Amino acid sequence: MTTDYGLVYDMRAPAFGAPATELYRAAIEQCAWADQHGFSRVTFPEHHASDDGYLPSPIVMAAAVAGVTQQMLIHLSVVLLPLYHPLRAAEDLAVLDLVSGGRLRLTVAGGYRDEEYEQFGLDIRKRPSLMERAVAALKDAWTGEPFEFDGRTVQILPRPAQEPRPDIFLGGASPATAKRAARIAEGYEPLGARLYEIYLDEVQALGRPEPKSSPPPTEPSPLFLHVSDDPERDWPLIAPHALYEANAYGQWVRGRRGAVYAEATDAEELRRSGMYRVITPDECVDLARRTGRLTFKPLMGGLDPKIGWAGLHRFVDEVLPRLNGAT
C-alpha cells in the first residue's frame, strides 16, 4: 500500500501558545523540509473574525510555501469563495498556480459562521447564489478569453499553469451542497459518506463526467497526530493546545449535524476520543498501514514549534523507513 503523508496549518495563535511570528516562520520551514522528505501535500484552511488569528489569507500563505517547495501539492481547503470578489479570486489563484508550477488543488465552500459574512458586509443567506456566481466566474476567467461579468466584458490574465484550468472541488455538509457540487464542480469533499452517495447519484442523473474526487475514508484520520518515544511524557505538553483547539472549533460548530469537532470537558476526555493522538513509532506504522493516509498538524493550537518538529523528525527517522520497506 502507498501511504500519503500531509501537513495542515490553520495558524491559530492563542495567547498562551507560541507567537504568530514564530508559528508562521516555522510553518514555512517545516513545509520546505517536508517537501524534501516525501510529504505529498500541505493543506491551508480559511476563517475570519477569529480572536486567535486563524489563517485568513490561505492564498498568500500558499504562495509563500510554493516558493520553498518543489513537489508538494498545495491544497487550499477550503477557500470561502463567497467572501471574495470573483475576479480578484481568479487573479490571485491563477498567480498561485503559476508560482507553484501547477501544484494548486482548490476546494471551495460557503462557510457557516455569520460573523465572517458580517465582517465583509455580506448576507450569509446568499451563500448559494454567491458561490455559483463565483465558480462560474473562475471557469470563464481561466480561459484567458474575454467574457461577460455583471454586464461588463472583462478579461483575466495571466492564465493558470494547469491545462485547461485547475479543477474546482466543492466542500460541504448538506445535501444541497452535494447536488450543487454535481452541477458546478469537478469533485466533492463532504463531511460524511452519505453526502458523497447523494453527490454520486446526482452526477449520474445529470450525466456529468466521472468525479475527480474520492469518497471520504472509512476510517477518518485523527485531527492531530504526534509521533513520540514517550507518549505519556509528551501528552501533557500537547493537551492544553488540543483542548483549546477542540473547544474553539466545537463552539463554532455547536449544534451542526455531522461536525468533526466537539467540545470536551477536559484533556483526558479528549484523549479517549482518539481524535488527538500521541503515539509511538510502532503505533504510527500500524495506523499508516491500516489507513493509507497520515496527516500531521505540527503547530496545532499554537503548539511550540520545537514539539512539532520533534514529532515530524521521529516520523521521518523511525516510521517512514519501515513504511518504505527499509530495515
CATH number for 69: 3.20.20.30
Query: Given a cut of 50, is residue 132 above it in pLDDT?
Result: yes
- Residue 55, in any domain of the structure: yes
In this structure, the answer to whether residues 188 and 129 fall within a common structural domain is yes
- Dihedral sign, CA of 219, 221, 227, 229? negative
What is the sign of the dihedral through the CA atoms of 110, 112, 118 and 119? Answer: negative
The model scores a pTM over 0.75? yes
Domain count along the chain: 2
Which of 174, 206, 238 lies at the terminal end of a domain, its last residue?
Answer: 206
Residue 1 pLDDT class (50, 70, 90 cuts): low
Give the per-residue pLDDT at 327.
Answer: 43
155 and 253 both lie in a single domain:
no
223 and 289, same domain (yes or no): yes
Mean pLDDT of 264-285: 94
Q: What pLDDT, on a 0 to 100 scale, did the predictor assign at position 256?
A: 73
| Pair 93, 142 in one domain | yes
Whether residue 214 is contained in a domain is answered as no
In terms of domains, do 56 and 199 share one? yes
Please indicate, yes or no, if residue 48 is contained in any of the structural domains.
Answer: yes
* 26 lies in the same domain as 54: no
Whether residue 61 sits in one domain with residue 15: no
149 with 186, same domain? yes
Q: Residue 109: inside a domain, yes or no?
A: yes
Note whether 70 and 171 are same-domain residues.
Answer: yes
Distance CA 273, CA 264 (A): 9
* Domain closes at, from 206, 235, 256: 206
**Domain for residue 111, yes or no?**
yes
Q: Classify residue 2: in a domain, yes or no.
A: no
Same domain for 45 and 35? no
Residue 1 covered by a domain = no
**Same domain membership, residue 56 and residue 33:** no
Tell me, yes or no, whether 267 lies in a domain. Answer: yes
> Which of the four pLDDT bands, split at 50, 70 and 90, describes residue 7?
very high
- How confident is the model over 284-306, as pLDDT tens digits? 999 999 999 999 999 999 999 99
Q: Is 91 found in the same domain as 186?
A: yes
Written as one letter, the residue type at 78 is V
pLDDT value for 163: 97
C-alpha distances out from residue 324 to 72, 108, 259, 289, 306, Å: 18, 34, 34, 11, 26
Type of residue found at 7: L
| Residue at which a domain ends, from 154, 179, 206 | 206
Would residue 235 be called left, alpha or beta, if left means φ above 0 and alpha means ψ between -120 and 50 degrees?
alpha
154: domain range?
Answer: 41-206
Residues 6+ apart with CB under 8 A from 63: 95, 96, 99, 100
